[in-house]
Chain A
Amino acid sequence: MSAFKDTMIITQRQLRLLTRVPEVLIFSTIQPVMFVLLFRYVFGGSISTGQPGGYVQLLMPGIFVQTVAFTLAGTASGLAEDMKKGLIDRFRSLPISQSALVMGRTLGDSLLNIVVLAVMGIAGYVVGWRPTSGALNVAIGFIFLLLFGYALSWVGIFVGLSAKDARVVQNVSFIVTFPLTFLSNAFAPTTGMPRALQYFAEWNPVSTMVAGCRELFGLENQFGATAGSFPSENPLLTSFLYMLVIMAIFIPVSVRKYKRSAD
């Protein structure tokens, strides 16, 4: 029980940081909103989808997934910053649950995602995004997105503990996350890609997440590539398995690494 309490205190700290430095919240929201507007109005006109409601219907799930994917970078650089300042030493010398700090941070970052996703949803609505699947499915879609962010935030803990410097962490995370979000069905059909990339894009967790969200928001997934491949036929199941695998690996590995981070 005390491990849970400790985690909650760390999560509170995380949220208090947001109220003290509102810039963090503002910028983590502005960037995705900017993507919504850019893609909607720059590419939206030239990509024909045959979808009622147009490109923005396909785009929004893509941008949602991209945004939660960046949780990895946020968690990693936040943790690296705490390490640099020696704050981790203080926490580790306290008689508290040794995993509370990382548990609290991943949870805090997920709560931040709720706010960011809400703002993006509103921005999407303003530029014409209209999910047609009913409130329940839309809610499930958002829970799916949050879960994905949570899983990746554990990868972020690992990256943050492994790297030396908060800025390096930021750069490394972007170098990993950026291609992953673009080598996917998030913004354009994978059918235009070279064959080898198509395979990659189809199995890419970002694609399965995007396809899954499109399904939950009431769209046919028209950006999927080869019909009949397992991930494009079962995007929700595949995404779910990916998340389970990521968490099954990275939660224990990251906690272990954190406990030994000083040795």
Chain B
Amino acid sequence: MNDFDELKNKWKNDKADLGQTKTADSEKLVAQARATKNKSRNAQLSTIAILSITLMVLVYFFTEVAPFKEVLSRVGVLLMCGGLLIRIIIEIVSLVKASQLSINLKTDELSKRMVAYYHYRSKIHGAFTITIVALYIIGFYMLTPEFMKYLDMKWIWLMDIGFVFIALTVFYVIRKGVLKELAILREFSAVQNDLNN
């Protein structure tokens, strides 16, 4: 194949020219590596920390500050706290799975793990998270009848309407994340397909 031999020669000649190329200094690379190491892991750890603190505050509030007496309210609290707890467990599992995406795996194996990881992420960010958020919202509104006994009606309205905006914001953020991760899933499914066909 003459064309290919010609290409090979050009590639070789260019390699010789590029041999003189000075890329980034190794000292700088090490500094950059140290600065950026665990960046994404830290982001996931922060999410876990924020969710855990929220859960602790909720548990403290509902057990110590304003313990509910009615069954409906208690079920509501259970839905809210239970949903958060499940979400924390999911994030921890996700963190463990992410640590298995090692860059020095064989390309086919890394690509398979990427597909599995993003498949898992799209599942948890998709229907599963929406269910958890929905349960959280339902749980919150289940507290309303008992709140009505102690709070003025205008505060109830303010809380319930305010919660709608919070729910819409959460929905928007989740949707954005899902779309991004679905796009990545499609990319790596295509790579996986290219590697195997």
A and B pair up:
no
Q: Which residues of B pack against A, CB within 8 Å?
A: none
Q: Which residues of A pack against B, CB within 8 Å?
A: none
